[in-house]
Chain A
Amino acid sequence: MRCRKCGEKAVINMRQHRLALCKEHFLEWLPEQTERFIRKYDMFSHTDRLLVAVSGGKDSLALWDVLWKLDYQADGLYVHLGIDQETGYSDRSEDYARKFALERNLKLLVVNVQEQFGESIPQIAARSRRGQGKVCSVCGLAKRHIFNQTAQAQGYSALLTAHNLDDEAAFLLSNTLDWSLPRLARGFAVLPAAPGFARKVKPFCRFYERETAAYAILREIAYVPDECPYAIGSKQLFFKEDLNRWEDEMPGTKLRFYLNYLAALDEGVFPERQEEDEVLSGKLCSRCGQPTTAGELCAFCRMFEE
Chain B
Amino acid sequence: MSDNSVTIILKNKTYQVNSGIPLHKALRFLNLNTNTHLAVRDGMLITEDEMLKNGDRIELIAVISGG
Contacts and interface: CB of A to CB of B under 8 A. Distances in A.
A23 to B, nearest CB: 7
Interface string A11-22: 111000000100
Contacts, number: 77
A37 B11 CA distance: 34
Contacts of A230: 67
Contacts of A1: 47, 49-50
Contact of A248 (B33, B38, B49): B33
30 contacts: A10-B47, A12-B38, A13-B47, A13-B48, A20-B47, A23-B44, A23-B45, A136-B67, A166-B64, A209-B65, A210-B36, A210-B38, A213-B38, A213-B61, A214-B38, A214-B63, A217-B38, A217-B61, A218-B45, A231-B66, A231-B67, A236-B67, A237-B64, A237-B66, A241-B36, A241-B64, A244-B35, A244-B64, A247-B35, A248-B35
Nearest to B34: A248
Nearest to B64: A240
A192 B16 CA distance: 52
A213 B61 CA distance: 9
Given A11-B46, A11-B47, A20-B47, A240 B33 contact: no
Contact of A12 (B45, B61, B64): B45
A25 to B, nearest CB: 13
Q: How large is the interface on B (under 10, 10 to 19, 20 to 34, 35 or more residues)?
A: 10 to 19
B9 interface: no
A234 interface: yes
B40 interface: yes
Given A209-B64, A231-B65, A217 B40 contact: yes
Interface of B: 33-36, 38, 40, 44-50, 61, 63-67
B35 A214 contact: no
A10 B46 CA distance: 7
A12 to B, nearest CB: 6
Interface in A237-283: 237-238, 240-241, 244-245, 247-248
Contacts of A231: 65-67
Contact of A240 (B34, B46, B47, B66): B66
Nearest to A218: B45
A227 B38 contact: no
A228 interface: yes
A228 B67 CA distance: 8
A267 B33 CA distance: 35
A208 interface: yes
> Which of B33, B34, B61, B63 counts the most chain A CB atoms within 10 A?
B63
Contacts of B34: 248
